A and B are shown apart, each in its own frame.
Chain A
Amino acid sequence: MAQTRSGSNLIWNILSYAVLILLAVLSIGPLLWMLLTSFKVEDDIVTRTMVYLPTRFTLENYIKLWNQSGYPVLVINSLVTTTLTVAICLFTGTIASYAFSRFNFPGRTPLMLGYLVVRMFPAVLMIIPLFIVMRNLGLFDTSLGLAVAYTSFLLPLFVWMLKGFFDAAPTELESAARIDGSTRIGAMFRIVIPIARNGLVATCVFVAIAAWNEYLFALMLTSSTGSRTWPVGLQLMVGEFQLPWGMLAAGGIISIIPVIVLFALVQRVMVAGITAGAVKG
């Protein structure tokens, strides 16, 4: 009996590992291929037979990208837009989700559902009205305008996620803080937010990555290099008669560096935040 169980355990383990390894290969493979491509010369990329490893290691793609295509501006634009998006979400979303979590006001449930409704429509539907709004407000082709547009669909995510983390913090703690001499808002900043810190970091990272990678809105709501973000810039490098694979790969690699750095910095906090939310929220 015991042997049968350990036998089936072994098969189960092998299967799990096989699936996990497959998933790992699927997600790491393209990244690795992009990395290799970025170090190849043109002759190694466009070939009759597949060349896996660069025959000649080169940084030429990176140099060309950096010097000729205005890529640094694109990355800076993306950084500005992402920072603005996170800042707006952090400021408005934290207060909103605290209110949703703690107060029982008339219209609370419809309002929360309203937040979700935004996400039920395809992004394409929202772009035209947003385009008109931004143009009339003079926010078209600005980083702020793009950040506001991102907020329109990222704020619901932010509020709903953070509400779960706030819900997990016992209300008695705020009652205790209020008796101890805090105001409600003071109790929120001194007691609840420190408890929900991991969740807050996790939520911010989600929003930041979504804003960093966004393409469609950025394509529609920017028209010049003054505010264009890297995904759009990268796509525009593909011309009718040219496909600069090496530069595209180099651009891809550069653009994921901030994401990797962000993850490395907050990884532990974020995992703690997500799992805490999963268990309690």
Chain B
Amino acid sequence: MATLSIKGVRKSFGAVEVLNNIDIEVEDGGFLVLLGPSGCGKSTLLAIIAGLEPSSGGDILIGDKNVNDVHPKDRNIAMVFQSYALYPTMPVRRNIGFGLEMRKVDAKEREAAVQRAAELLQIEHLLDRKPGQLSGGQRQRVAMGRAIVRNPDLFLFDEPLSNLDAKLRVEMRTEIKRLHDRLGTTTVYVTHDQVEALTLGTKVAVMKGGVIQQLADPETIYDRPANMFVAGFIGSPTMNFLTGMLEHGDGGLVLRHAAGSLALVGLEQDVAAFVGREVVAGIRPETLNAGQGAAGLQGIVDVVEPTGPDTMVIVSVGGQLLTARLGPKVRPKPGDTLNLSVDTAAINLFDPVTGNRI
């Protein structure tokens, strides 16, 4: 096990800058998730950590050792690929043991290690099959077996669950978390799925255009997003954005929007400089509740989407559409007028010009 330090890493392909000055520290046993849309540079960063791609500048340190010029095979890392990358010509047993075989580990010891890994992942019965005879979930387990068998300093996962169906994805996500809790190996995990990021990571780096937008623990990322990109990318349904003027009202600050005003009770941010200017209020759907409260909004119901445990209600507030996550029993009809109370302490205000959190 080891720490991982990424210091000022850059990568460009010709004139195209795909990674711009990336700085990340991961503690020993930490779980870093690189999260972002396609093309944000997260997989490239992972390939640089693995040594499969050279960086254009900056340093990668595993433990105290600078590994910039170290061959992938000598970095003592293990990687699980999106396509699993199982060697099709070898049976599962040899796939898992290949890393040990390359390191000239004695056959008996190798066999024992493969057996241990297989037991941990419950794939002992598959050891003599070829990858082509396995299902997606089984391949996924074999790929993980290949990673854990060597006790590496660092695990790298490149969107490992994206080829699985929804149910299996949830199962394997739990499995990965359990494995990490058990082995405590420092992990870097690339995904575009925010649920994976929030459930697995001890630290999440949200990336866009080769730049880290926010690096924080999942709770902070969700509750206090650094900018509107992060706010909009994390959460499903996504955060509502309500534009209005920030003004002094009777009991404190209010957000004056097209259909009235919203008292900003218990706001944590220091927004004094923005009074009298336009701001964007980020409101999570679950902080909206049916009924009137200390602070509220009134709107016309546009669409009602029952999902089982929740009912998503899309409401038009002065022409701006907001989604509210309401209880399963709440069933307003389109066209109804709906009062929503707002947990204003959970609101984040953003600067509409820069998109950053004020």
Contact = CB atoms under 8 A, between A and B. Distances in A.
B85 A170 contact: yes
Contacts of A178: 52, 71-73
Interface string B76-94: 0111011101011100000
Q: Is the interface of A mostly helix, strand, loop or mixed?
A: helix
A138 interface: no
A128 to B, nearest CB: 44
Interface stretch (A39-47, A117-125, A154-162, A179-187): A179-187
* Interface core residue of B52, B77, B103, B146 (most chain A CB under 10 Å): B52
B207 interface: no
Contacts of A194: 89
Contacts of B9: none
Interface string B44-73: 000100111000000000000000000111
A240 interface: no
* Interface core residue of A172, A181, A195 (most chain B CB under 10 Å): A181
B107 to A, nearest CB: 16
Given A181-B102, A181-B103, A175 B85 contact: yes
Contact of A181 (B73, B81, B88): B73
A182 B85 contact: no
A180 B89 contact: no
A175 B44 CA distance: 13
A172 B80 CA distance: 10
B273 to A, nearest CB: 49
B151 to A, nearest CB: 14
A173 interface: yes
B137 interface: no
A170 B82 CA distance: 12
Contacts of A182: 73, 102
B16 to A, nearest CB: 15
B88 A179 contact: no
Nearest to B52: A175
Contacts of B146: 176, 180
A247 B87 CA distance: 53
A69 B25 CA distance: 81
A73 interface: no
B232 interface: no
B88 A195 contact: yes
B332 interface: no
Contact of B87 (A179, A181, A186, A191): A191
B73 A175 contact: no
Given A170-B83, A170-B85, A173-B87, A180 B102 contact: yes
B50 A179 contact: yes
A274 interface: no
A194 B72 CA distance: 22
Nearest to B50: A179
B149 to A, nearest CB: 10
Contacts, number: 58
Contacts of B98: 177, 180-181
Contacts of A172: 81-83, 85
B50 A180 contact: no
Nearest to B73: A181
A178 B102 CA distance: 10
B99 interface: yes
Contacts of A170: 83, 85
Contacts of B47: 175
Contact of B99 (A180, A183, A186, A191): A180
B99 A173 contact: no
A186 B52 CA distance: 15
Interface in A175-207: 175-183, 186, 191, 194-195
A173 B95 CA distance: 11
Nearest to A170: B83
A180 B52 CA distance: 12
Contacts of A183: 71, 73
A175 B89 contact: no
A55 B35 CA distance: 84
Contacts of B77: 179
Given A181-B99, A181-B103, A182-B102, A176 B73 contact: no
B85 to A, nearest CB: 4
Contact of A175 (B50, B71, B75, B102): B50
Nearest to A193: B89
Contact of B72 (A173, A179, A191, A195): A179
A176 B52 CA distance: 10
Given A177-B87, A183-B73, 13 more contacts: A170-B85, A175-B47, A175-B52, A175-B81, A175-B85, A176-B87, A179-B52, A179-B77, A179-B78, A180-B146, A181-B102, A182-B73, A191-B87
30 contacts: A170-B83, A172-B82, A172-B83, A172-B85, A173-B87, A173-B88, A175-B47, A175-B72, A175-B79, A176-B85, A176-B146, A177-B87, A177-B102, A178-B71, A178-B72, A178-B73, A179-B51, A179-B73, A179-B77, A179-B78, A179-B79, A180-B146, A181-B98, A181-B99, A181-B103, A182-B73, A182-B102, A183-B71, A186-B102, A191-B89
Interface of B: 47, 50-52, 71-73, 75, 77-79, 81-83, 85, 87-89, 98-99, 102-103, 146
- 9 nearest A-B pairs in the assembled complex, by CB-CB distance: A181-B102, A180-B99, A176-B85, A172-B85, A194-B89, A181-B73, A178-B72, A172-B81, A179-B72
